[in-house]
Amino acid sequence: MPCPAETGPVLITGCSSGLGQASARLFQAAGYRTVATSRRGSDLDELCKLGCDTLQLDVADEASRRAAVETVQQRYGAVAVLVNNAGRGQYGPIEEIPLEQYRRCFETNVFGPVHLSQLVLPAMRAAGRGRIVNVSSLAGRVGSPGGGVYHMTKFAVEALADALRPEVKRFGIDVVNVLPGPFASCFGGKIGETIPDTGPDSPYADYKRNLEKWMTEFMRPDRFGTLSCDRVARVVFKAATVPRPRTRYNVGFIAKLGPIGRALTPDRVVDAHMARQIPS
């Protein structure tokens, strides 16, 4: 990418906290015109004080997506970098999760990034350059029980990148996915809230309790292998700014080794191992 003074704006979704906020800080400190967004504009006061431009954007709402991109392009011209960071978690047994929750998760994690990409691409094409960075996940390469809905959305983001990347390459546009392993954020503390409460008579009652315990432990900030938001943000920044980015950046040893181990291990062995980890 050219130096900050020569580029257009960097549009980042999901900046109220965690990785989005850390990424916005990095881009702003490096001199990029940084547009930080979140569903609630009041969550962006700290970034505003740092010099970021801030904008309300609900990535799960089509009208909000259109309005945000139009505003950014009217103010600053073609988006130079789109960072699709906003995400929604969903955990619990496939059978018990209402379809509406599936739709909400896909709207945020898949349709939001797809539509935002569609909205910024025409101006990127006209400018002859641009970059779309998707914050994907290890969950887009390795599935696990109890997280099926979330994993489905991240697998879709991986497929999106593989399709979009060669389609737009000839226009000078890169598509890069960043796949972190577990990292410390408020997301980890909200896992239990997403598991559907269907009462003590649910056939999955014990399973759901054990699922919450296992996921909370897996995402624990002080656990070996858990990354900091700042470390992941540095990779997001690199993916957005290096002249010749890789197609994917797996962040942390869990994200690097997990897909390899999963590919080499028979399904039934993995199933048995996870049944011991999350007993039902």
Catalytic (active-site) positions: 150
| Neighbour-count burial of 257, counting CB atoms closer than 10 A to its CB (0-12 exposed, 13-18 middle, 19+ buried) | middle
How far out from the chain centre does Cα 66 lie? 20
List C-alpha distances in Å: 137 to 183, 241, 254: 10, 20, 11
Most distant CA pair in the chain, distance: 61
Q: Encoding tokens for residue 236? A: 């997001």
Report the candidate in 88, 24, 29 with the shortest Cα–Cα distance to residue 54.
Answer: 24
List C-alpha distances in Å: 106 to 86, 100, 267, 276: 12, 10, 26, 29
